[in-house]
Amino acid sequence: MGLRSFIHHLTAPAITSTVPAGRYRLAIVVNTSLKMKKGKIAAQVGHGAVKAALKCAGNNPACMDAWLSSGQAKICLKGVDDEQLLSLQQQAKDVEIQAVSIRDAGRTQIPAGSLTVVAIGPARDEDLEPITGALKLL
Amino acid sequence: MSSLDDSPSMVLITRRDLKLSRGKLAAQCAHAAVKCALRARSRKARLVERWSKSGARKIVLECEDVKQLLQLKEQAKEAGMIAMLIEDAGHTEIPAGTITVLGIGPAPKSSIDDLVKHLKLVN
């Protein structure tokens, strides 16, 4: 940190943003049409979770804190195909819930560029429900 | 995987003996990946950036049991790598407090390989 930014850091008002109380979770929807194996799924879900967490920590720290206090809850759900995953992502974005997608580099098992998972949230349970409520657990 | 690619890597080591379902295994691995990434971000920011930019490689491996998992954790720590255990809250499938996954890294691929080369991929 430079001197100027250090002084700024000391004197700038704290960023106070709040988010509604509740249980926060991250829903990770897996594209089952790709027929990935167990280890591959775990790695892709890991990609989705890390991408969502780092993005949320940068853009919405209050939401990140709320999620961490909920034990960084994650839930893995079964998605049908690309089309469904993209539509879920859009639905989330329409209501301003963060949604990130993962495309695979294609080094193993599946073609490069395949849409493997969409991670929706972290968001409150009741805000996720209308989007992901109909999906089955993986 | 090409041999010239020495970009940073993360491994998620699971326990074969727990026989977790694929959804449970995926969620536990995601816990470990996030925990490692957040820890690394505050301690090794540049490494995390290189890791993210090179595709945030994650490899899911399996070991025999919790004893082996704890051993690997010690070895990783001794080598100066980030190593985080995940303990399950026990809402589903297994008792609360069960250690499910060990995440190691992100760290240079060569140092991780030295540590885990004897482990199998999860299929």
What DSSP line would sit under A94-126, residue for residue? HTT--EEEEE---SSSS-TT-EEEEEEEEEEHH
Asked if residue B16 is part of any domain, the answer here is yes
Asked if residue A102 is part of any domain, the answer here is yes
B14 touches chain A (CB under 8 A): yes
Query: A67: domain CATH number?
Result: 3.40.1490.10
Predicted pLDDT of residue B3: 44
Asked if residue B92 is part of any domain, the answer here is yes
What ipTM does this complex have?
0.90
* Angstrom distance (rounded) from CA B32 to CA B12: 7
Residue B117 exposure: Cα atoms within 13 Å on the Cβ side: 5
Structurally, chain A folds into a number of domains equal to: 1
Asked if residue A24 is part of any domain, the answer here is yes
* Angstrom distance (rounded) from CA B119 to CA B54: 23
Asked if residue A127 is part of any domain, the answer here is yes
Residue A21: Cβ within 10 Å count: 9
Asked if residue B1 is part of any domain, the answer here is no
Asked if residue B45 is part of any domain, the answer here is yes
Asked if residue A138 is part of any domain, the answer here is no
Predicted pLDDT of residue A60: 95
Asked if residue B58 is part of any domain, the answer here is yes
pLDDT bracket for residue A16 (50, 70, 90): low
B86 touches chain A (CB under 8 A): no
Domain membership of residue B67 as a residue range = 9-121
Query: B63: domain CATH number?
Result: 3.40.1490.10
CB contact under 8 A, A38 and B27: no
Asked if residue A137 is part of any domain, the answer here is no
Asked if residue A43 is part of any domain, the answer here is yes
The pTM (predicted TM-score) of the whole model is 0.89
* pLDDT tens digits, one per residue of B45-74: 999 999 999 999 999 999 999 999 999 999
Asked if residue B53 is part of any domain, the answer here is yes
CB contact under 8 A, B31 and A57: no
User: Please, which residues 44-63 of chain A have a Cβ atom closer than 8 Å to chain B?
Assistant: 44-51, 53-54, 57
Structurally, chain B folds into a number of domains equal to: 1
User: Please, which residues 64-103 of chain A have a Cβ atom closer than 8 Å to chain B?
Assistant: 71-72, 74-76
A38 touches chain B (CB under 8 A): yes
Domain membership of residue A128 as a residue range = 3-132
Give the bridge partners for A131, in sequence order.
Answer: none
Q: Is B86 helix (H, G, I), strand (E, B) or coil?
A: strand
Asked if residue B3 is part of any domain, the answer here is no
Asked if residue A55 is part of any domain, the answer here is yes
Predicted pLDDT of residue A14: 60
Q: Is B11 helix (H, G, I), strand (E, B) or coil?
A: strand
Where is average pLDDT lowest: A12-16, A68-72, B12-16?
A: A12-16
Where is average pLDDT lowest: A38-42, A103-107, A132-136, B97-101?
A: A103-107
Predicted pLDDT of residue A54: 94
Residue B73: Cβ within 10 Å count: 19
Asked if residue B2 is part of any domain, the answer here is no
A43 touches chain B (CB under 8 A): yes
CB pairs A-B closer than 8 Å: 92
Question: Tokens 């949230």 map to which residue?
Answer: A121
Per CB-CB distance under 8 Å, the chain A contacts of B123 are: 37-39
